[in-house]
Amino acid sequence: MSENADLEIKAGWVLPVHPDPTVSLENHSILIKDEKILDILPTAAAADKYSPATVIDRTSSIVMPGLINAHTHTGMTLMRGRADDLPLLKWLHDVVWPIEGAFASKEEFCEDGAMLAAAEMIRGGITCFSDMYWYPAAAARVTVRTGMRAVIGMVLIEYPSAYAKGVDEYIAKGHDIMQQFQGEDRITFSYAPHAPYTVATETWKKLGELSQKNGVFIHTHLHETREECSASCVLDRSHPACHLSENECHPVEDFRRMGLLSSKLVAAHMVHMTDEEIQLCAEKGVNIAHCPSSNSKLASGFCPVHKFLKAGINVALGTDSACSNNSLSLLEEMKLTALNTKNLAGDATALPAYTAIQMATFNGAKAFGLEDVTGSLEVGKAADIISIDVHTHAGNSPMFDAHSAVVYAAAREDVNDVMVNGKFLLKEGTHCTVDIGDTLKRMSHWRSKIMEEFPQK
């Protein structure tokens, strides 16, 4: 007698990603039951074994794990394109911070920005994101409403803000929100101290202890610019990127001394790293969230990803914010990672397509301790699944190799379906959980407000 299942996806190609990232299974079916992956087997064999309540035909599509955005700031999406082509400090001081001062101090702004980001991310096949922004409850609520999965960052800087008066309040508010969303199985939390140059030694130590005690990951910006390293080495306090430590050293070395280098640390960027630092991070199990578009757009440098991979570091991918990219598309980041790493390494084989996919899926899950839940298609894991069409648009055909098609040719409009826990967030290109009309209406409202208060020169 055949076994019941909620859904069968008949796939042209299945990319399980883990344990072997090179595997591509032709004409296989994925069976889903009770929000989880029940089985993956040849479609020809599925008919005898299962009686699915629903069957969908994706024989012209590649079916793979949902993409995981390991580093973003969803609340900034409403400022997309407000100022580009400026030097980093001018951009921050003259544009981003004044607008943030006026708007990101409003929780509603952060929530509407997070919803706009979610709409874009879902459209592009992202099922899970790791966020770091003011009022983290806003992004958590958006996660609940959209059905996405998220790692919500409990934001923290050394200074007072509209959100919190000081370190203790940042931490207390974070813990409150973590408590508030405890029942949500799709939401986990991270400590999200901003960076070595905005968080003091005592605070880092406190977070390190908390992380050790309660198992919560720490997610921060680290070694993003050359200046962060050089100013910290000589404690040049006149430079805004000099770390707040008393030690004349690179922030990574300072982290080592504070005992922060561990598999519970997710460091975004890590563009400027000595070979010794790479080795050290590999030994300590540090996770890196690589954000290639942002690094290029802000002229931060080309990140030596090939060296990270060779050293065995777990490298995930992030879009960073819509202000420094300006897209929230991991399809773009996968391609850029593969292309630029090949070019930097001077070796066209340095980062094959399947590795880029692994970085955008399994490695993202592993970075935040979710590798038993999501990030690959394996029996028993959550049904966090996307399908990518390879037969409808001229731009993604012919399809000879599924990994290549996803990384080098697929675009947002090729993403057919997006599901989390077996529930459709996008079906045949149409949003199921986001009211796109309302999201764009709110976007327009804030756009007008920003243009009123900060008219462009």
Write out the binding residues for a second copy, residues 74-93 only, by CB under 8 A: 78-88, 91
Which C-beta is closer to a second copy: that of 146 or that of 198? 146
213, 184 in Cβ contact below 8 A?
no
Which C-beta is closer to a second copy: that of 37 or that of 138? 138
Contact flag: residue 400 with a second copy (CB under 8 A): yes
Site for a second copy in 345-384 (CB under 8 A): 345-353
Binding a second copy (rule: CB under 8 A), the pick from 62, 137, 315, 328 is 328
Stretch that binds a second copy, among 189-197, 280-288, 357-365, 441-449 (CB under 8 A): 441-449
Contact flag: residue 326 with a second copy (CB under 8 A): yes
Report the chain's C-alpha Rg in angstroms.
22
288, 267 in Cβ contact below 8 A?
yes
Q: And the tokens for 168? A: 């203790």
Q: Which residue, among 136, 218, 211, has the nearest Cα to 173 in the 3D structure?
A: 136
Q: Which residues pair with 265 in a beta bridge?
A: 218
Which C-beta is closer to a second copy: that of 192 or that of 338? 338
Which C-beta is closer to a second copy: that of 2 or that of 444? 444
- DSSP string for residues in 64-128: EEPEEEEEE-GGGGGGTTSS-SS-HHHIIIIIIHHHIIIIITSHHHHHHHHHHHHHHHHHTTEEE
Which C-beta is closer to a second copy: that of 178 or that of 443? 443
Contact flag: residue 338 with a second copy (CB under 8 A): yes
Q: Please, what is the minimum distance in Å from the beta carbon of residue 415 to a second copy?
A: 10
Binding a second copy (rule: CB under 8 A), the pick from 133, 181, 308, 446 is 446
x/- contact string, 282-321, with a second copy (CB under 8 A)? -----------x-xxxxxxxx-------------------
Site for a second copy in 243-262 (CB under 8 A): none
Our measurement of the distance from residue 338's CA atom to the centroid of its chain's CA atoms, rounded to an integer in Å, reads 17
Which C-beta is closer to a second copy: that of 84 or that of 372? 84
x/- contact string, 92-121, with a second copy (CB under 8 A)? ------------------------xx-xx-
Q: Which residue, among 355, 442, 411, 452, has the nearest Cα to 111 in the 3D structure?
A: 442
Which C-beta is closer to a second copy: that of 19 or that of 346? 346
Q: Please, what is the minimum distance in Å from the beta carbon of residue 112 to a second copy?
A: 11
# chain residues binding a second copy, by CB under 8 A: 78
Binding a second copy (rule: CB under 8 A), the pick from 12, 21, 52, 124 is 124
Q: Which residue, among 195, 189, 201, 194, has the nearest Cα to 155 in the 3D structure?
A: 194
The CB density around residue 354, as the number of other CB atoms within 10 Å, is 22
Q: Is 102 left (phi over 0), alpha (psi -120 to 50) or beta?
A: alpha
Helix (H, G, I), strand (E, B) or coil at 25: strand
Site for a second copy in 6-45 (CB under 8 A): none
Q: Please, what is the minimum distance in Å from the beta carbon of residue 79 to a second copy?
A: 8
Place of tokens 């969303």: 181
Q: Which residues pair with 131 in a beta bridge?
A: 72, 152
Q: Please, what is the minimum distance in Å from the beta carbon of residue 45 to a second copy?
A: 23
Q: Which residues pair with 58 in a beta bridge?
A: 11
